[in-house]
Structure 1
Amino acid sequence: MKKELRPFHDHVTCEVCGRTILKGERTEAYLAPGGERHGVCELCFVRAEHAGWIRESAHGLAPARGPRPPERRQIFGRLRRRGGEAPGDGEELGEPSPAESEAETEQPSHNGDASAPRPSRRRERPQSPRHVRAVPTTAEVKVERALTLFNASSHQRTVAGLARSLGPPWVTAMPDPDAPSTVTVLVAWELSWYLYRVDLGDAAEPVTQLQKGDTLDDIDGELRDFNAALDNDGRVVIGAATG
């Protein structure tokens, strides 16, 4: 029986320079960008690193690039297909998962679909009606109500301020014969006068200044029948002012 003889040292070459590795010479395993493993002699370490090879010991004994998970490959393939790109050679798109298929099916198409729900129109809140007050029927009560509203307005403070400078004014308060809910109030001095309208039915802004002038000659004779004055607090009251 013949005894098989094996060489003590295997024939190993450097995969960079192609030189045969001598016995006892140190080599290093490098990983190419594609993940292939190559043996490199000490003289070619720098050349291998310039070529983009990585030492296997420095790489943690892990392949340079592992295969992507099949599930991610399928998802990216579908995204490229939707964007108009063709999948790469040998890439399997795979079937979408049931949850993805259901989500894609449930997406409504609004292109020309008459059954698509229309956005509901926002109902506008109706404007609140104008607040009105009950209007008295007698002239005396109308005047009393009008003076109460006038004294509660900012116009009363204006008249009271003028009275401190010009003295006590003459005042007329009389219902308007052409407007049953309106009372006319005139406050006059020798050098100026102010004409107001008090709407007894308006609860928001009942008092309005209509006109103002400089001389009493511009006032109608009926309005010059003064029947009211200011009291000590500057409020308009029926009758002469109390001192």
Structure 2
Amino acid sequence: MTRKTIVTNMAVIGCDICGRTLLRGENADVFLHGGSRRTVCELCTTRAMHEGWIREGVDDTMGGRRGSERGSARSLLGRLRSRRSERGYDEDPVEAAPVYDPASYDPDHYAPDQGFVDEVYVEPAPAVHHEPAPPAPEPAPVAGAVGPVAPAPAGQGRPGDDAPRDRGISAVPSNAERKVVRALEVFNLGVHTRTVAGVARSLGAPVVAARPSATEGSVVTIVVAWELSWYRYEVDLGDEASGVRVADQGTELSELADADRVATARADEGGFLHPLGELA
């Protein structure tokens, strides 16, 4: 008896539009954009076409049609030329352009249709050289006048001139519930809402567990989970400008801790997250 090896692991394919990993049984379309091949899931094909991406295979078909149209035009032009030669028609004669002879030019009998233009020599104007003006004399010192003020050294100017300006750093709420509410607001401003909405159309409403990190005071962890897929996001409230980061993802709910499977928020049809109430 010959032994057979059954391989259950499938290749991980990600959508280049929404960034999510395709589920088992999902088909991906290949688009061309920027000279490279892009993988697009079934939920994002309409958006890819709106962005100007070309589905693979369509460009070759259009090119073949254009080539056949050019061939038809050339064959039609060839047939017309052959018919003219059979009937004895010659090509239309082309009149030679008149040749301008300077010796035959007469200003008194100039005709506009001849197109002759008399060349007129204009003597260039002589170059004028301007001598630089002498520098103005320095004013005599006045008794009691104050001399030039030297620039103040660094750190001694106006208050706030040399103070560091922190950009993207915001105050972190001290209350756990306010941290979660602010983290959900930051999440709704990012692009990951499209991923949540796209997967929810196939697998239904997810379980959303949002809670502050036990090790980092400014970080809030958001877990969005379905039966066949889950994502773990992290939001740093101390650096909101960095956005939302995908910390981990998987395909089985058993991979999550019990606390990550208790819903503390909900997702609407657009993929936006909203708190359920106070954390337990």
**What's the TM-score, normalizing by structure 1?**
0.44
Between 1 and 2, higher relative CO (CA 8 Å, sep ≥ 6) is seen in 2
Which protein has the larger Cα radius of gyration, Structure 1 or Structure 2? 1
**What's the TM-score, normalizing by structure 2?**
0.39
